[in-house]
Structure 1
Amino acid sequence: MRPRLGSPLAWIYLAAMFTFILLPVITLVVFSFQDGRLPVPPFKGATLDWYAKVLSDRAMMEALGNSLLVAALSAFVSLLLGFLAASGLARVLLPGSVLMRGLLIAPMTVSYLIIALGLLQMFNQIGLRPSLLATGIGHVVINLPLCFAIIYAAIGAHQRNALRAARDLGAAEWQVLLYVAAPMLAPSLAAAYFLAFTFSWDEFIIAFLLTRFDVTLPVEIWSMLRSGLSPETNAVGSLVFLVSVLIVVTLELSIFRKARK
Structure 2
Amino acid sequence: MRANPWILLGRLWLGLAYAFMFLPLVVLVLFSFQKNRFPGFPLQGWTLQWYDKLFTDGTLIKALGNTLIVSPAAASVATVIAFLAAYAFNRFTFRGKTTFLAMVTLPILIPPLILGVGFLGLLARLHLSGTLFAVFLTHVVLIVAPALAIIQLRLSQMPASLEEAAWDLGATQWQAVTRIVLPFALPGILGAWLLAFTFSFDEFIIAWFVSGFQPTLPVAIYSVLVAAIDPSLNAIGTIVFAISCLVLVGLELVLLPLLIGKSESRS
Secondary structure of the structure 2 residue equivalent to 1:62:
helix
Deviation (angstroms), 1:54? 1.6
**In 2 relative to 1, CA 4–256 (structure 1 residues): closer, same or farther, beyond 3 Å?**
farther
Corresponding residue for residue 239 of structure 1: 239
2:39 counterpart letter in structure 1: P
Structure 1 residues 1-261: aligned runs within 5 Å: 7-156=7-156, 158-256=158-256, 258-259=258-259
Q: May I ask how many residue pairs the two structures share in their alignment? A: 259
Residue by residue over 1:178-207, the C-alpha shift from the partner in whole angstroms, topping out at 9 and shown as x without a partner, is 333222211111111122112212221121
The answer on whether the counterparts of 2:116 and 2:205 sit within 8 Å (CA) in structure 1 is yes
The answer on whether the counterparts of 2:158 and 2:184 sit within 8 Å (CA) in structure 1 is no
In structure 2, stretches of 5+ residues that fail to align are: none
Secondary structure of the structure 1 residue equivalent to 2:165:
helix
Q: Distance in 1 between matches of 2:203 and 2:176?
A: 34
Deviation (angstroms), 1:168? 4.1
Deviation (angstroms), 1:133? 0.4
2:132 counterpart letter in structure 1: L
Moved more, 121-130 or 138-147: 121-130
Moved more, 68-77 or 163-172: 163-172
Q: What is the TM-score of this pair, normalised by structure 2? A: 0.86
**In 2 relative to 1, CA 117–172 (structure 1 residues): closer, same or farther, beyond 3 Å?**
farther
Q: Distance in 1 between matches of 2:44 and 2:155?
A: 54
Q: Distance in 1 between matches of 2:152 and 2:179?
A: 18
The answer on whether the counterparts of 1:191 and 1:251 sit within 8 Å (CA) in structure 2 is no
**In 2 relative to 1, CA 230–157 (structure 1 residues): closer, same or farther, beyond 3 Å?**
closer
Q: CA RMSD in A?
A: 2.4
**In 2 relative to 1, CA 160–52 (structure 1 residues): closer, same or farther, beyond 3 Å?**
farther
**In 2 relative to 1, CA 17–82 (structure 1 residues): closer, same or farther, beyond 3 Å?**
same
Q: What is the TM-score of this pair, normalised by structure 1? A: 0.88
In structure 1, stretches of 5+ residues that fail to align are: none
The percent identity for this pair of structures is 36
The answer on whether the counterparts of 2:131 and 2:210 sit within 8 Å (CA) in structure 1 is yes
Q: Distance in 1 between matches of 2:17 and 2:237?
A: 22
The answer on whether the counterparts of 1:64 and 1:216 sit within 8 Å (CA) in structure 2 is yes
